[in-house]
Amino acid sequence: NAGVTQTPKFQVLKTGQSMTLQCAQDMNHEYMSWYRQDPGMGLRLIHYSVGAGITDQGEVPNGYNVSRSTTEDFPLRLLSAAPSQTSVYFCASSYSRIAGGHYGYTFGSGTRLTVV
Amino acid sequence: DQQVKQNSPSLSVQEGRISILNCDYTNSMFDYFLWYKKYPAEGPTFLISISSIKDKNEDGRFTVFLNKSAKHLSLHIVPSQPGDSAVYFCAAGYGNKLVFGAGTILRVKS
C-alpha cells in the first residue's frame, strides 16, 4: 500500500539546470496535483490533472511543466531552475478534485529542492 | 492577497487540555473547509472537513466549528496528546479552487 510516492526526497540544483520531480500513485486516483510549500505561505497549487491527458495550471505555474500520460504518474518538470524555486514540493492525489476537497487529498512525503 | 489566514504561527498546550486552532477566510464563495496535519519530513495528512451547510463536525477528539457570518473556522482537539504536536493547515475551497493557510505549529507538552 504505497499511496503517493515522490522521488527524489532531496535535490540541489544550480541555477539554469533542469530536472524532473517524479510522482506516482497506486490508488487509481483520477485527480493529481503539485503544490509547493514556502515559509509563511502555506501550500500553493502549481499544476493539476483531472485524468490522463488532461492538465491545467494552478496558482503558481510559471517555470514548471507537467504531463499526464498515465493515471499513475504525474511528473513535474523545472525547465530552467531559479533560486525562487527553492521550496518543498508535494504531490497529492484524490478520486476527484471535488472529492479531495471534501474528503482530503493523499499527499506524498515531499521533495526538498534547493537551487543555488 | 491571502484568502485563508492562520494568524497564530504557533500554539503551546499542556497534555490533556484543549487545543484550539483558528483560521479566518475572506472569500464568501468558499463552501468546504478542511484541516490537515503535517509532521516534519512527511506530507500533510487529512484530518477533518466541514461543508458550509454545517456549523460543526466531530471525529473522535477532533471537532471543527464553522462560523460563516464571521468567516471563521476553528479546530478543537480534546484532550490534547503529545502525538498531536505537528503543523496544522486549514484549507478552504469551492468548485476546483482550494486555498491553504500558512499553518500553525502546535506543541503539546507532557
Tell me the per-residue pLDDT of B39-55, one tens digit each, with 9 for 90 and over.
998 999 999 999 999 99
Average pLDDT, chain A: 93
Three cell numbers written together for A7? 522521488
Chain B window 11-40: which residues touch A at a Cβ cutoff of 8 Å? 32, 34, 36
Cα dihedral sign for B67, B68, B70, B76?
Answer: positive
pLDDT digits (tens, 9 = 90+) for A31-51: 999 999 998 888 999 999 999
pLDDT confidence of B1, banded at 50, 70, 90? low
Residue B84's SS3 state is: helix
Task: Give the CA distances from residue B41 to residues A49, A90, B7, B32, in Å, rounded to whole numbers and listed in that order.
Answer: 25, 11, 23, 27
Q: Which of B6, B49, B103 sits opposite A102 (nearest CB)?
A: B49
Task: Kindly list the residues from chain A whose CB atom is less than 8 angstroms away from the CB atom of residue B89.
Answer: 42-43
From the list B66, B79, B25, the residue with the least C-alpha distance to A42 is B25
Q: Is the pLDDT of residue B22 over 90?
A: yes
Cis peptide before A8 (omega within 30 of 0): yes
Residue-level pLDDT at B95? 76
